[in-house]
Structure 1
Amino acid sequence: MDCLPRELVPEILSRLPIPSLVQSKSVCRAWRIFIHDQEFVDKHFKRMIDNDPSFILQIIGNPIQNQLYFGDFSGHPNGGNVMITKKLTIPPLSNFHLVSSCNGLLCLRFTHPSFGLCIYNPFTRDYIELPKIITKNPASHHGSVLGFGLDPTTKKYKVVEVSYKGITCRTLPRRVAISSMRRPPLTAAYASSSIESEVYILTVGSPTWRNLGRFPFHFMWQKSQVLVHDKLHWIYYPDTINATDLIMSFDLANEQFNEVPRPDFISSDRRFRELVLRGCLSAVSSDNEGLEIWVMKEYDVRESWIKEFSIGTYVPRILQPNDQCESSNNSRFYLPKRSIRVLCQLRSGGILLEYRNKALVIYDPHCRIFHDLQVTFAGISTYFRIVVHVASLNWIETT
């Protein structure tokens, strides 16, 4: 490396795969220091982003639930029709489930009884267990949603947890004072909510969580987080009948909530099920005819929402009845609309879809055809969780 021009070294090494770079850290101290340099880590990460996205998969169900796989399309000659997977080393933790991914780092949540959190880089194998939230009455909480992302001002990672507990309408104040929160005025509909949420935030590396307060909104649980413009996003609604789905953002820098304009052009009988990310904030709605994907071309501008894709109904082969003589009108040929999830758009333009945590399908919007995706790891006949992931050399600074 000393024989090469100084500016050429990062250009060469930034093109190497993550496993090769991790191994090269053992060559000598100089290599280790170089590969840990944040400028090089960022350069390599930007190259990874330019490729097709990769994925982290977790098998659902015992006895192999505590296993993660890394999957991408780069290692097979058929390209986008086959996902090659590699078994990953996991941290020495109790049972966990996969929550989200950010900048090559995974957020894992331990299952009962600890319910703790861990941040883990599956390639460098660096991990940190996070402190637990201390509440006055932990038994009162009935569920939560999580968010994980990087504060662009401090370059520190933060984890946000929104916890819920049931309350009566009489105990909910007309106005809720929340530190550092910008939100729409509370209407009568909001004030009649029977759900109260409490927001906690942790700067990774800090010893304790901070309580940001309570508010009368309910965030819809999502299978994957949406991080756009350094803000986390959730679908939320007041706990009232026939309430309209809305979008709330949380700024990781100033720790403020703010409502984001929704795509009003979506008909009233189509509710949001999830948000997806493709460089722009996107929203997915569905009915019995299929899916619509709306994209906000200019962030926080209501008029910039456009309906970019319409995807018809389809049932992957693995989910079809075994008896080929059965009528296509059989209800088993139709999937509940909540069982289909949009994962991402590939460089080819295809849309990657997940069906009922069991099948992956690529939809070609130009030809309007579906391709069942072959995933090459043992256990795909069982159910799995999957998150979009960009592998990186990032690690957590704890000081």
Structure 2
Amino acid sequence: MDSLEDVSYDLLFQGLGYDPLTDDYLVVQLFRNLNTNDRKRAQVFSIRANKWIEIEPVNLSFTSCGWENYRPGRVLNNVIYWLGCCLKEEMHVVFIIGFDVTKRMFFEIVVPVDVGNNIDQIALSEHAGLLSLCVFKESNHSIEIWSMKEYRVESSWAKTSVVSLVLPRRFFNLLCVTKDGDIVGEDYKKLIKYNKKGKVKENLSLARLHLSSFHVEIYKESLFSLPCHNEQAIEDN
């Protein structure tokens, strides 16, 4: 593909996924043209093949949405998910974009109507092995957990739990839900974990680090060996 440096492109989403069919790790990047939002490019880097491959991007009218679009992806069942927004009927709409690692294709998932369109108060998560959304309701200081019961079936979205926060907050950036059902989020320069009853379970202040800004990533520990390009060449011979 032509170098992205030759065109004014902006990185919208990126992620790392594993394809069990080819035993390959893929780096996925989705770009939009800064001059024309309707023009997008997508590319995948194959660790095994040691090269970039251009693929067909999803056909959506992306908006900039500030820094919120540039959030890390969540990987579940060989699919990388991102939370972003697009312009539909002259309104900003929150949606989920997925990339099927095995099929090398993008697709869109509509969020429940009740979730709303304030991307600052919505976070992607995994709950009980299902793709889920954490929604912070500033009006009553509660957190709602929505889960998709069936893969890519938008009608299967269901509100699985509601947690009322004992100590109300004006701002809470949701990060994830743990296996035990605890809710982890960021409140300016604090990382906070709530239990199912909305009580603070852990509180980590980052103020003493004197950071002007910080970014939190969610990850899972794993032990694996990346495919070696030289090993692949030997197998081909």
TM score, norm. by length of structure 2: 0.75
Question: For the residues of structure 2 that align with 1:368 and 1:288, how far apart are their CA atoms?
Answer: 14
- Equivalenced residue count is 218
Does residue 253 (structure 1) correspond to residue 102 (structure 2)? The answer is yes
Q: CA offsets per residue over residues 301-349 of structure 1, 9 Å max, x none?
A: 3333221233446779xxxxxxxxxxxxxxxx732xxx512323143x3
Partner Cα separation in structure 2 for residue 233 and residue 341 of structure 1: 16
Query: What fraction of aligned residue pairs are identical, expressed as a percent?
Result: 20
Partner residue, 1:211: 54
Kindly state the Cα deviation for residue 202 of structure 1 after the two structures are TM-superposed. 0.8
Counterpart in 1 of 2:233? none
Establish whether residue 334 from structure 1 lines up as the match of residue 170 from structure 2: yes
For structure 1, which segment, 221-230 or 251-260, has the greater mean C-alpha deviation from structure 2 after superposition? 221-230
Secondary structure of the 2:216 match is strand
State the AA in 2 paired with 1:138: D
Give the whole-Å Cα distance in 1 for the aligned partners of 2:193 and 2:69: 25
CA change 1:154–1:374 in 2 (3 A) is: same
Whole-Å Cα distance in 2 between the matches of residues 235 and 223 of structure 1?
Answer: 7
Q: Distance in 2 between matches of 1:161 and 1:392?
A: 22
Tell whether 2:72 aligns with 1:224: yes
After superposition, residues 52-91 of structure 1 pair within 5 angstroms as: none
Write the distance in 1 (CA, Å) between the matches of 2:69 and 2:56.
20
Letter in 2 for 1:386: V
Q: Show the counterpart of 2:152.
A: 300
Residues 1:387 and 1:315: Cα distance change in structure 2 (over 3 Å):
farther
Kindly indicate whether the alpha-carbon contact (under 8 Å) linking 1:270 and 1:286 is maintained by their aligned counterparts in 2: no
Give how far 1:362 is off.
Answer: 1.5
- The amino acid across from 1:258 in the alignment is F
Give the AA of the match of 1:280: L
* C-alpha distance in 1 between matches for 2:193 and 2:98: 29
Secondary structure of the structure 2 residue equivalent to 1:306 = strand
Q: CA contact under 8 A between 2:27 and 2:45: conserved in structure 1?
A: yes
Q: 1:309 aligned to 147, 161, 169, which one?
A: 161
SS at match of 1:144: strand
Q: Given residue 244 of structure 1, which amino acid in structure 2 is its aligned partner?
A: V
> Are 1:155 and 2:4 matched, yes or no?
no
Assess, with a 3 A threshold, how the Cα gap between structure 1 residues 135 and 216 changes in structure 2: closer, same or farther. farther
Aligned amino acid, residue 228 of structure 2: T
CA distance in 2, matches of 1:222, 1:304: 27
Aligned partner of 2:201 in structure 1 is: 371
- Write out aligned runs for 1:142-181 (5 A): 142-168=10-36
**C-alpha separation between the residues in 2 aligned to 1:156 and 1:227?**
15
Measured in 1, the distance between the counterparts of 2:216 and 2:116 equals 30
Larger RCO of the pair (alpha carbons < 8 Å, separation 6+): 1
Distance 2:53 2:12 in 1: 16
d(CA) in 2 for partners of 1:164 and 1:381?
35
What runs of 5+ residues in structure 2 fail to find an aligned partner? 230-237
Secondary structure of 2:223's counterpart equals: coil
Matched, 1:288 2:138: yes
Match of 1:239 among 81, 87, 91: 87
CA distance in 2, matches of 1:393, 1:283: 28
Q: Which has the higher strand share?
A: 2
Change in Cα spacing, 1:315 to 1:139, as seen in structure 2 (3 Å) is farther
Once the two structures are superposed, residues 75-116 of structure 1 have per-residue CA deviations (whole angstroms, 9 ceiling, x without a partner) of: xxxxxxxxxxxxxxxxxxxxxxxxxxxxxxxxxxxxxxxxxx
Q: In structure 1, what residue type is equivalent to 2:23? A: K
Q: Give the structure-1-normalised TM-score.
A: 0.47
Shift of residue 232, structure 1, vs aligned partner: 1.1
Q: Contact 2:87–2:93 (CA<8 Å) still a contact in 1? A: no
Secondary structure at 2:215 match in 1 = strand
Change in CA separation of 1:275 and 1:267 when aligned onto 2, cut-off 3 Å? closer
Superposition CA RMSD, Å: 3.2
2:183 to 339, 342, 351: 351
The offset of 1:373, in angstroms, is 2.4
**Partner of residue 225, structure 2:** 395
Does the CA-based 8 Å contact 1:166-1:195 persist in structure 2?
A: no
Larger Rg: 1
